[in-house]
């Protein structure tokens, strides 16, 4: 049993008018085997939370902790975070010009495991993952994210998730820009990952529709840089019916 724990996390970014606090005391714990959805309006700080856990240099942690089984994640390099078992799929993945998907995956897997994967099973694993995500066989030879459609980026994220096999996956807007067929394929991939057992999933999303395919154990409503409400899957249904307006108004009144 593993736990990813975020405690009283405060994060600022530098802006032209000085540092701006975006996360204002986030508390959240994800245990292995659990799927948590973070839902909230645009601009509430969801991506900032993902980037902060990922170690993006733009985000300054001013207070609080992020730990994985008690280990200080925030003290780790980005590579160390991956080796510790964290996987962070970004909302806007970078292009890696000239690096093929196959080489990218192999380099990442080698870095995480500390040794190169055995070639025979590796090729089978990668091709299998691509096939399950509905990618053609030439996908492995394409440059990472170069000219990828929104849907291809998301499928590529899930191929990475399958192949790298982390303990915890943080998926930011995995559903954005997907048509209904791609949404189903990508959701199936996340569910396969969860069904391996012992995997923690933090699914960050603006829309409730992906939660028709991925069933969260817990739902957190994120407003104005912190968790405003927590509940079970029924909370997602309430949000689908009522939206975020009530939570936003409450956050404003309290500010």
- The tokens for 153 are 């980026």
Dist. CA 235–CA 220, nearest whole Å? 8
Nearer to ligand ADP, 159 or 211 (CB): 211
Q: Which does 248 bind (CB under 5 to 8 A by kind): ligand ADP, Mg ion, none?
A: none
Q: Shortest distance, CB of residue 44 to ligand ADP, whole angstroms?
A: 4
Choice between 16 and 179, CB closer to ligand ADP: 16
Nearer to Mg ion, 12 or 47 (CB): 47
Span from 37-45, 66-74, 77-85, 98-106 in contact with ligand ADP (CB under 6 A): 37-45
Note whether 47 binds ligand ADP by CB under 6 A. yes
Residue span binding ligand ADP (CB under 6 A) among the ranges 2-10, 12-20, 136-144, 177-185? 12-20
Dihedral sign for Cα 50, 51, 54, 60, please: negative
Q: What residues line the site for Mg ion (CB under 5 A)? A: 46-47
Single out the residue of 35, 44, 102, 208 in contact with ligand ADP (rule: CB under 6 A).
44
**What's the min distance (Å) between Cβ of 136 and ligand ADP?**
31
Least spacing, CB of residue 2 vs ligand ADP, in Å: 25
Candidate ranges 36-44, 67-75, 105-113, 229-237; the one touching ligand ADP (CB under 6 A): 36-44
CB of 65 to ligand ADP, least distance (A): 19
Q: What 3 state SS string does the chain have?
A: CCEEEEEEEEEEEEECCEEEEEEEEEEEEEECCCEEEEECCCCCCHHHHHHHHHCCCCEEEEEEEEEECCEEHHHCCHHHHHHCCEEEECCCCCCEEEEEHHHHHHHHHHHHHCCCCCHHHHHHHHHHHHHHCCCCHHHHHCEECCCCCHHHHHHHHHHHHHHHCCCEEEEECCCCCCCHHHHHHHHHHHHHHHHCCCCEEEEEECCCHHHHCCCCCEEEEEECCEEEEEECHHHHHHHHHHCCHHHHHHHHHHC
Name the binder of 43 from ligand ADP, Mg ion, none, CB < 5-8 A by kind.
ligand ADP
| Count of other CB atoms within 10 angstroms of residue 118 | 9
Of 128 and 198, the one with the shorter C-beta distance to Mg ion is 198
The one of Mg ion, ligand ADP, none whose footprint includes residue 90, by CB under 5 to 8 A per kind, is: none
**Residues making contact with ligand ADP (CB under 6 A):** 13, 15, 20, 22, 40, 42-48, 58
């Amino acid at each position: 049993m593993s736990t990813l724990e975020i405690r009283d996390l405060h994060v600022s970014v530098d802006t032209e008018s000085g540092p701006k606090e975006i996360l204002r005391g986030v508390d959240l714990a994800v245990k292995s085997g659990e799927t948590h959805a973070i839902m909230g309006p645009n601009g509430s700080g969801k991506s900032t939370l993902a980037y902060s856990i990922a170690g993006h240099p733009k985000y300054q942690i001013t207070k609080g902790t992020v730990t994985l089984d008690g280990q200080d994640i925030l003290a780790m390099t980005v590579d160390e975070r991956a080796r510790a078992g964290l996987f962070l799929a970004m909302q806007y993945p970078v292009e890696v010009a000239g690096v093929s998907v196959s080489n990218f995956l192999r380099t990442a897997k080698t870095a995480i495991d500390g040794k190169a994967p055995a070639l025979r099973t590796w090729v089978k694993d990668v091709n299998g993952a691509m096939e399950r995500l509905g990618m053609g066989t030439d996908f492995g030879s394409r440059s990472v994210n170069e000219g990828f459609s929104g849907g291809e980026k998301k499928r590529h994220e899930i191929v990475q998730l399958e192949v790298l096999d982390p303990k915890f996956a943080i998926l930011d807007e995995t559903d954005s820009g997907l048509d209904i067929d791609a949404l189903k394929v990508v959701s199936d991939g996340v569910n396969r990952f969860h069904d391996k057992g012992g995997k923690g999933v933090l699914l960050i999303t603006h829309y409730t529709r992906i939660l028709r395919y991925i069933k969260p154990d817990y739902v957190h409503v994120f407003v104005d840089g912190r968790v405003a409400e927590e509940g079970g899957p029924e909370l997602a249904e309430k949000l689908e019916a009522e939206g975020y307006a009530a939570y936003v108004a409450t956050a404003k009144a309290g500010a």
